[in-house]
Structure 1
Amino acid sequence: MMASPIYIQIHNEIKRSIESGKWNVGDRIPSEREMSVTFGVSRMTLRQAIKTLVDEGILERRVGSGTFVSRQKVQEKMSSGVTSFSELMRAQGKEPSSKTISYHIATPSLSEMEKLSLEEKDLVLRMERIRYADKIPICFEIATIPEKLVQSYNKEEVTSSFYHVLEESGHIIGHAQQTVSSMLASEQISEYLGIRRGDAILRLRQTTYLNDGQPFEYVRTQYVGDRFEFYLEK
């Protein structure tokens, strides 16, 4: 079985520690320096593991205070219809495009296994993209898809119009579970999206299902706060 990257292994260990009660909701976890020593890795590797947990809403960073186990947030159920980013942009008269930052087959993290109902032996496609509307960066996205679902598609098909390709292959896209929260842009995200570090970001975490109830996509997206808004319909 393919070995997980070191940062994913650390992600899993921290997640297990939280789930076992070592750190409770609202607790401050040790500093990056302390944890990098504990795990015997560089600060950069440790920071990447923390970032994945922050993106998933498991941890939260507080400027000047450190990193904490996230408090549960009030959730609002959005309309159940599933629309791809490309379809959404075209519906608003804008031309969608994207830039792929990374695209690789990997072993899933514990979070990805849970969200996509996978086993340890399964593999996933994990890709990072910047999404644009009329060439203006709107969001940064990390998407995880079961590898067995994309085996017959090439990279261009997956990165350009995955929902359309799925439907063309006979799959029926069902519903999605979505969670929206706010955060501040990190230095890396600010560079990707052409904003300032600390600017407001809307974070969307979404698990999308086929019509038969099978989860096929787990996405963590960060939207520029003043370039995108969510519309809820009841």
Structure 2
Amino acid sequence: MLRKTNSVPLHTQASNYMREKIYNREWDVDEKIPTEFELTDILGMSRGTVKRAIKSLVDEGLLVQIPGRGTFVTRPNITHPSGNCLLSFAESLHSQGIEFETQVLESSIIRADAFLSEKLQVPVNAPVLFLRRVRTVDGEPIMYIENRLSMLVVPGLDKVDFEQESLFKSIERCAGKRIGYSQARYAAKIAGEKRGEILHVGEEAPVLHLEQQVFLSDNVPVEWGNVWLRANRYVVGTVLQRV
């Protein structure tokens, strides 16, 4: 599992492994993670290294240890909405006269698991478009975007060229309805290995993470997504109501 010949310390590799489990919702909010002994077997490493990796994620606020019960994924407890006009990031950049490019890293149809079934209000195994994009300004990546969209609500969305067309406009065109509002949460996090590589920052670099659920004007959820923003390049004010 771990690359012992890698120059990255083992405890950092272990932290990256666990951080990805949390970021990808493989370990969900309030879920108990494997025990230190189980992680020792999974990762093929010493218990001391596992303990050190867990402590670093506790210090980041991603995990909490409850004596006698185990270690759990923390529940974010602060949501700070502001503003009254819902814009996509592409629309926001356009409004500021900032030129950018979008690269699609992945566009595939996946099946809704229990988590996406709840978020998108679709049956388990319903088709969901999984979209990964990176957006650059002057050749420098400023945001990494993951979207999960209900194909039952926006049929044909998988045919869109997202390197040329913005997501919100595509949703409204394919759904035949306006986007109504979003529920958004921002938090400061550590990039981790995967997102650090995409954003061209160190894996320990701070990033701003947006978790957002988007609803159509009839209150039907259409998208659940995550945006990871380079903290040294982006200042964001959340916006909620589309006008």
Query: What is the alpha-carbon distance in structure 2 between the residues aligned to residue 129 and residue 42 of structure 1?
Result: 33
Query: Residue 122 of structure 2 aligns to a residue in which SS?
Result: coil
Q: 1:220 to 1:97 in 2, by over 3 A?
A: same
Query: Residue 138 of structure 1 aligns to a residue in which SS?
Result: strand
Deviations 1:34-56 (A, max 9, x none): 25957xx999xxxxxxxxxx9xx
Which residues of 2 match residues 43-192 of structure 1 at below 5 A?
60=62, 68-158=72-162, 160-169=165-174, 170-192=176-198
Does structure 1 residue 206 correspond to structure 2 residue 212? yes
User: Quick one: which amino acid aligns to residue 227 of structure 1?
Assistant: R
User: Quick one: which amino acid aligns to residue 82 of structure 1?
Assistant: L
TM-fit CA distance, 1:128:
1.2
TM-fit CA distance, 1:76:
1.1
Query: What is the alpha-carbon distance in structure 2 between the residues aligned to residue 119 and residue 16 of structure 1?
Result: 21
- The structure with the largest alpha-carbon Rg is 2
Query: What is the alpha-carbon distance in structure 2 between the residues aligned to residue 171 and residue 37 of structure 1?
Result: 50
Query: What is the alpha-carbon distance in structure 1 between the residues aligned to residue 126 and residue 40 of structure 2?
Result: 28
TM-fit CA distance, 1:232:
5.3
- After TM superposition, the score normalised by the length of structure 2 is 0.68
Query: What is the alpha-carbon distance in structure 2 between the residues aligned to residue 70 and residue 16 of structure 1?
Result: 6
Q: 1:182 to 1:98 in 2, by over 3 A?
A: same
> 2:53 maps to which residue?
none
Q: 1:94 to 1:109 in 2, by over 3 A?
A: same
Query: Residue 92 of structure 2 aligns to a residue in which SS?
Result: helix
- After TM superposition, the score normalised by the length of structure 1 is 0.71
Q: 1:209 to 1:71 in 2, by over 3 A?
A: closer
Identity of matched residues, %: 21
TM-fit CA distance, 1:207:
0.3
Contact 1:177 1:206 in 2 (8 A): yes
TM-fit CA distance, 1:191:
1.2
Unaligned runs of 5+ in 1: 1-6, 44-53
CA RMSD in angstroms comes to: 3.4
Which 4+ runs in 1 deviate beyond 6 A?
A: none
Query: What is the alpha-carbon distance in structure 2 between the residues aligned to residue 233 and residue 147 of structure 1?
Result: 25
User: Quick one: which amino acid aligns to residue 162 of structure 1?
Assistant: L
User: Quick one: which amino acid aligns to residue 169 of structure 2?
Assistant: H
Unaligned runs of 5+ in 2: 1-20, 46-56, 65-70
Deviations 1:71-115 (A, max 9, x none): 432221222422112111111111132111211111123222211
TM-fit CA distance, 1:158:
4.5
Contact 1:81 1:176 in 2 (8 A): no
User: Quick one: which amino acid aligns to residue 144 of structure 2?
Assistant: F
Query: What is the alpha-carbon distance in structure 1 between the residues aligned to residue 235 and residue 186 of structure 2?
Result: 11
TM-fit CA distance, 1:123:
1.4
Query: What is the alpha-carbon distance in structure 1 between the residues aligned to residue 217 and residue 154 of structure 2?
Result: 17
Query: Residue 148 of structure 1 aligns to a residue in which SS?
Result: coil
Query: What is the alpha-carbon distance in structure 2 between the residues aligned to residue 123 and residue 216 of structure 1?
Result: 12
